[in-house]
Chain A
C-alpha cells in the first residue's frame, strides 16, 4: 500500500500497539531545555528511575537566558527564578548526563530548535521530541518531530518511548515561484490565514509542492516551525538533495562509511506518488504577498497592502466577538491601512526567524540606513552562538549597529519575554516570532508577526512598508 512520509516515519518507530490503537513510539532524539525539564528530572528522582538512553539527550538553556551582560557570567542573570532554572539544568546534566549539553554562555548555545539542525543532532528519519511546541521546526529535515508536555518529557527520559496515537495525514501544497519580497514566513502565515489556527489539529502536516522544494532548509524550518500555529503538532518536508547537502559534515551527522547507508535510507523518506491524505490544501505562491498579523491569533493575518478587517462584516458571532476583542487589545480601528500602523519596537529573532539567512535578509534592508526616531528599540537576537559568529564574520552586526539596532546574545528572548526582553503595556512591536497572543511579548504588549525583511524595513520607516515597492 502506498504510504505518506508520516506513515513511513510512524511505522519505523512503533514498539507496541494496544487494542484501542494507543501506541508506544520509540524516540531517537530528546531535546531538553531549562523551563520544561526540571519537574521531569525531579519526577525521575522521586521514583528512583534513571534515564533510559542518555545519549539521546541534547540540552541547552535558551528560554529565560539574558541576551545582554554575558561578560558578567552567571551574575548577569539578575532574575533569581530564571537563575535557579538554569542552575537546575546544569545540575541535572551533571547528575544524569547527555549526548551533548550547550550550557548558558557556551559559544554553541542557542535556541534549541536552531541548534538541533545546526549541530546535525537532528537527522532525517528520526523521531524527535522536546518540551516545546515549536519542535515541529525539525520536521523540515524529514523527521517526525513534535512538542510534548513535561510529564511526557519524564516518560521519554524513563522509557525512550512516547504513549501516543497516530495522527491524520494532511498535505499542504504550495506551487509556483515566490514574488520579490515574499519569504517562507509569508508562505506559512498565508497557510495559517487560509486553514485557521485549528486547521491542522489532529494532523501531521506535510508541506509539499514546487515552492517548498525550491526553499532552502532554513526556509523550510520557518514553515514547519509554525505548523503548530495551524494546530498541527508536527510539520514535515520530504527529504531531497537540499536536505542531504544541509546535513552533510555537521558535527553530529554520520560520517563515511555510515554516511552512504544513511543517505540511501533517507532518500526513501518521501510520500509515495499515490499515497492517500485525509486532507489536502493547495496554495498558489504567486498570490502570496508579504503578510502582517493584525490581531491576537496567528490566523488574524492579512497582506501588507490591505487594511485591518471590519468585524461588522463577519457573520459568525464567536469569530466577530474574537475580532472585536482583538482590535480593542491591539488598539486598532477597522479599515486602517496596514502601512499606516506605527510601531514602537522591532524584534528580529526566535526559532522561527533567527538563522543566518534571516539575518542576511534583514541586514539587506537596513544597510546604510538608520532606524526611525519613533522606534525605541530594534533588537537582533541571533538563534545561536554559531549563527552570531557567522553573522559577525560577514559584518552583519556592524550593519545593524550602524543603523541603531541592538546586537544581542542568542536565546528565545522577546519571542516569549521570559527573560528581561519584553514589551511594556501598549507598546507595539513588529516581530519575526511566531505568536501574537495577548501578553505574549509582555503584558499589554501588541505584537505584529512579519518576516525578517518586513521587520527590518518597518524599523527604518517607523511603520509597516510594502517591501515589494521599497528601494
Chain B
C-alpha cells in the first residue's frame, strides 16, 4: 500500500448527499479480475453530463474530492476506492461516510476525512473559486487552506493512521499474532466444535 503523509492538492467539489458506490463505479465495470484499470469507470454515468465536475478543465488533476454526507453508501465493492485512486484521488473529505466504504479506503491508501458539516460547507464555498487547493496532513490530522486562513482538525484511529503513514501490509501485521489466533481457534474448537 502506498504511504500517506502530507497531500497538497486541487479540490474537486461533488455537491450531492448519499453518493452510493453504484454511482462511484457502475456494475458494468466490476467484471475485472484486477485491482487497477478503473479510472475511466469512475462516476461513468454522471460523466455523460458535460458539466459534471470531472468534465470541467478547472478540476483536472484534482487529488482531493469534497463530498456531502453518507458518502460511499450501498454496495461493498472495493472497486469504488480503486476507481477513485486510479483516477488520481488520494483523499475524500465529507461530513460522514458509509461504514464499508470508509474501511475499504484505508486498505488502499485513500484517506477518508470526516469534518463537521459547517466546515465542509465552508470548503464548498471556497471550492467555487478556481484553483482551490488544500493541504491534508495525516501526522497532525489537519486540513488547511494554502493561505492558512482555515485549518480544521480531523480524527483518525491510531492503528489506521500508523498503517497509512507507513504504508503497511495489514495481513503481515496481523500475522504477528499468529500464535494468538491459533490458541483462540483451538479453544473455540473444543468449546464449540459444531462451527468447525
- Point out residues on A near B: beta carbons under 8 Å: 15-16, 18-22, 24, 26, 28-29, 35-36, 38-39, 42, 47, 49, 52-53, 55, 63-64, 79, 81-82, 84-85, 88, 123, 125-126, 131-133, 146-152, 154-155, 158-161, 163-165, 167, 197-198, 201-202, 228, 231, 233, 254, 258-259, 261-262, 265, 297, 318-319, 321-322, 325, 416-418, 435, 437-440, 443
Contacts and interface: CB of A to CB of B under 8 A. Distances in A.
Contacts, number: 185
B128 interface: no
Interface string B105-139: 00110000000000000000000000000000000
B157 A254 contact: no
Given A149-B103, A438-B45, A132 B76 contact: yes
B28 to A, nearest CB: 7
Given A20-B159, A159-B181, A38 B33 contact: yes
B170 A258 contact: no
Contacts of A161: 174, 181
Contacts of A131: 76, 78
Contact of B70 (A146, A160, A197, A228): A197
Contacts of A84: 31, 33
Interface residues of B, number: 55
Nearest to B77: A36
Contact of A231 (B30, B31, B98): B98
Contact of A152 (B103, B159, B181): B103
B157 A417 contact: no
Nearest to B117: A318
Interface of B: 16-18, 20, 22-23, 26-28, 30-35, 45, 68-70, 73-78, 81, 96, 98-100, 103-104, 107-108, 157-160, 169-171, 174-175, 177-178, 180-181, 184-185, 188, 192-196
Contacts of B177: 15-16, 24
Nearest to A29: B195
Given A159-B171, A198-B96, A150 B23 contact: no
A248 to B, nearest CB: 13
A161 to B, nearest CB: 6
A387 to B, nearest CB: 23
Contacts of B22: 416, 435, 437-440
Contacts of B17: 318-319, 322
A169 to B, nearest CB: 15
B32 to A, nearest CB: 7
Contacts of B27: 416-418, 440
A138 to B, nearest CB: 14
A18 B196 CA distance: 27
B175 A28 contact: no
A418 B181 CA distance: 37
Contact of A437 (B31, B74, B170): B74
A75 to B, nearest CB: 18
Contacts of B18: 197-198, 297, 322
A24 B175 CA distance: 11
Contact of A148 (B32, B76, B81): B76
A170 to B, nearest CB: 13
